[in-house]
Amino acid sequence: MHLLEGLLRRKRANIARKLIGAPASILDIGCGPDAEFLWGLRIWDKAGIDPKVEPRYREDIKLIQMDATEPLPFREKRFEAVTMLAVLEHIPLEKTPGLIDEIKRVLVPDGVLVMTTPTPMAELTLKVMTQWGLVDKDQINEHHRLMNPKEIKELLDDKDFRGIKIQEFELGMNYKIVSRAGP
């Protein structure tokens, strides 16, 4: 593990915990190989997807090995919350609207979507951090595009998300985004 990876992951998880409230069910897209965020939640109905996670099914958690650009294997209106922590930048731009459609499909009306993603300003800093071994170079090289708030808001507005709030954190290097699924 790289020096800052765990710290940054925990910080994103703490932010997401506060923003999701107390849902009865949650889907974490891009949960990572260990699904650490999900294991730490006191929610009975949890699911996570990630290309690197080991599939696992228990009565309280379902981990599915898959890419986020594939159709989500869940019924409509299945979850009260969906999280994507440091994932949006890894999705090819042309596939992002389809993923947001899938998220809206699996969220209950008024369900919460919480995302974090680096700001465009962070690009150079992240590249320097890879040179120092502070963050994973492969992860940073997988970034397709860092979106600005206007682009993020338009993407969510187009899919009938409402109450969209986008704020910077980590000295302007990341955005936290929270929105609600429309009817």
Lateral strand order in the sheet of 61-65: 56-57, 61-65, 45-50, 25-29, 79-85, 107-118, 174-181, 161-169
The pLDDT assigned to 102 comes to: 98
| Residue in this structure with the two tokens 């009817």, named with its chain if needed | 183
Mean pLDDT by 10 residues, the chain (183 residues): 73 94 96 93 95 88 95 98 96 96 98 97 81 81 89 96 96 95 91
For tokens 């962070």, name the residue. Answer: 122
* pLDDT digits 0-9 by tens, 107-150: 999 999 999 999 998 887 877 878 888 878 888 778 888 999 99
- Are the CB atoms for 27 and 83 separated by under 8 Å? yes
The structural domains of the chain, ordered by start, are 5-181 (3.40.50.150)
Phi-psi category of residue 115: left, alpha or beta, with phi > 0 → left and psi -120 to 50 → alpha? beta
How far is the C-alpha of 26 from the C-alpha of 41, rounded, in Å?
10
Predicted local confidence at residue 1, as pLDDT: 57
pLDDT at position 3, please? 61
